[in-house]
């Protein structure tokens, strides 16, 4: 049985400068794999006013509820970095340039044109470290983190991130930084977050086990002036390749991408349900070795390649909706495709991975079409 909880913040106990602020609370509860997350629980709300305070609150070892009611601009706070790079996708003004991070250009694009000098904002390279038992909430549409992402790594657990916007992380440059990184963590819920203008991945689950993660009701906005496909659509969207991950991807609006939205591999079980994909100029799903993907009740609108050819992992796209009943306790919901390519996977081995787990509910695709694009992301709770 899924337990619904509401975390109320005791603003009356906060500093006098916060007097008169209305209570802010986590909206709803996580569905799916991270359904037992509680974040900072009933900790007294803190309202950072500087980038230094935000970094301190997020990274300490106390349970915290952190409320953002302003923009936190990290650009320029750590100076700049100058590096060589390459131009694998061309030198046109709409193309991203790649930083030669860890000799990436040297090892993987040796024939690409060399870029002798790239200067970029150093704050974007690594996100803000987040400690265990944290809730990070935005107030209205005010909670913006600019120029730096979030980094949930090194065995931290029990994190809620809701109703914020992460944006402008060296968008011209691949390897300029990620929006939200999870690597070696557990019980993480990312909800009603918007990501935009990111250099590399909007959300990335690294190679270490990221445990139970729910990514729900977010807007992954790939519109950009610089992309690896040189067409205004971001290529590096969602990257799920952990060594022992269970990911629920529900109710997200994923648009103006051209690839890897999501890429799934490693040893990841992904339940992709009721997401709205499109428009896109390339592929959404990239299913690599070790992936188990159940995709149901999703809407593809203007997506030429819902899944990249040559999938090596297991994909079940619920054409046989009744096959789900024994594994998840209900029939699956069929996906919907409009002006899109083929999306078909028949590997029912995927379903055996869900036995006994908490599985998100699924709505009819008509509800997804009518509500997800207008309700996902910041400011819609």
Active site amino acids: 260
Rounded distance between C-alpha atoms, residue 45 and residue 25, angstroms? 10
Return d(Cα 181, Cα 199) in angstroms, integer.
Answer: 13
Helix ranges, 309-361 (H): 325-328
Give 279-282 contacts, CB < 8 A, sequence gap 24+: 279/255, 279/303, 280/233, 280/255, 280/256, 280/304, 280/305, 281/229, 281/231, 281/233, 281/257, 282/229, 282/233, 282/235, 282/257, 282/258
Kindly report each contact of residues 369-376 with a partner whose C-beta sits within 8 Å and lies 24 or more positions away, as own/partner: 369/276, 369/299, 369/301, 369/336, 372/251, 372/252, 372/253, 372/274, 372/275, 372/276, 372/299, 373/253, 373/255, 373/276, 375/217, 375/251, 376/192, 376/217, 376/218, 376/219, 376/251, 376/252, 376/253, 376/276
Residues 6+ apart with CB under 8 A from 166: 144, 145, 149, 150, 179, 180, 193, 194, 195, 196, 198
């Amino acid at each position: 049985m899924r337990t619904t909880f509401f975390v109320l913040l005791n603003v009356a106990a906060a500093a006098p400068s916060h007097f008169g602020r209305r209570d802010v609370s986590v909206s709803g509860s996580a569905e799916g794999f991270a359904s037992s997350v509680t974040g900072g629980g009933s900790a007294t709300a803190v309202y950072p006013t500087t980038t230094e305070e935000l970094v301190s609150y997020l990274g300490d070892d106390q349970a915290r509820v952190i409320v953002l009611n302003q923009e936190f601009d990290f650009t320029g706070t750590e100076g700049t970095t100058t590096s060589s790079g390459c131009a694998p996708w061309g030198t046109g003004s709409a193309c991203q340039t790649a930083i030669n991070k860890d000799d990436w250009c040297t090892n993987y694009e040796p024939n690409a044109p060399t870029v002798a000098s790239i200067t970029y904002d150093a704050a974007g390279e690594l996100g803000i470290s987040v400690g265990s038992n944290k809730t990070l909430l935005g107030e209205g549409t005010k909670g913006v983190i600019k120029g730096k992402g979030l980094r949930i790594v090194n065995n931290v657990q029990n994190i809620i991130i809701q109703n914020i916007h992460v944006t402008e992380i060296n968008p011209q440059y691949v390897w300029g930084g990620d929006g939200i990184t999870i690597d070696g963590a557990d019980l993480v819920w990312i909800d009603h977050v918007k990501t935009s203008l990111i250099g590399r991945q909007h959300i990335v689950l690294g190679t270490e086990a990221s445990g139970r993660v729910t990514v729900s009701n977010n807007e992954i906005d790939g519109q950009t002036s610089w992309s690896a496909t040189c067409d205004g659509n971001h290529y590096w969207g969602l990257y799920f390749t952990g060594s022992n991950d269970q990911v629920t991807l529900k109710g997200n609006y994923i648009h103006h991408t051209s690839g890897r939205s999501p890429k799934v591999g490693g040893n990841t079980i992904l339940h992709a349900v009721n997401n709205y994909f499109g428009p896109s100029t390339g592929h959404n799903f990239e299913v690599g070795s070790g992936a188990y993907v159940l995709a149901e009740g999703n809407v593809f609108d203007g997506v030429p390649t819902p899944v990249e050819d040559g999938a090596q992992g297991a994909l079940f796209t619920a054409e046989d909706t009744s096959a789900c009943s024994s594994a998840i306790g209900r029939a699956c919901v069929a996906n919907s495709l409009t002006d899109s390519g083929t999306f078909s996977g028949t590997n029912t081995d995927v379903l055996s991975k869900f036995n006994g787990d908490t599985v998100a509910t699924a709505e009819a695709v008509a509800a997804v079409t009518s509500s997800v694009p207008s309700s996902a992301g910041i400011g819609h709770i």
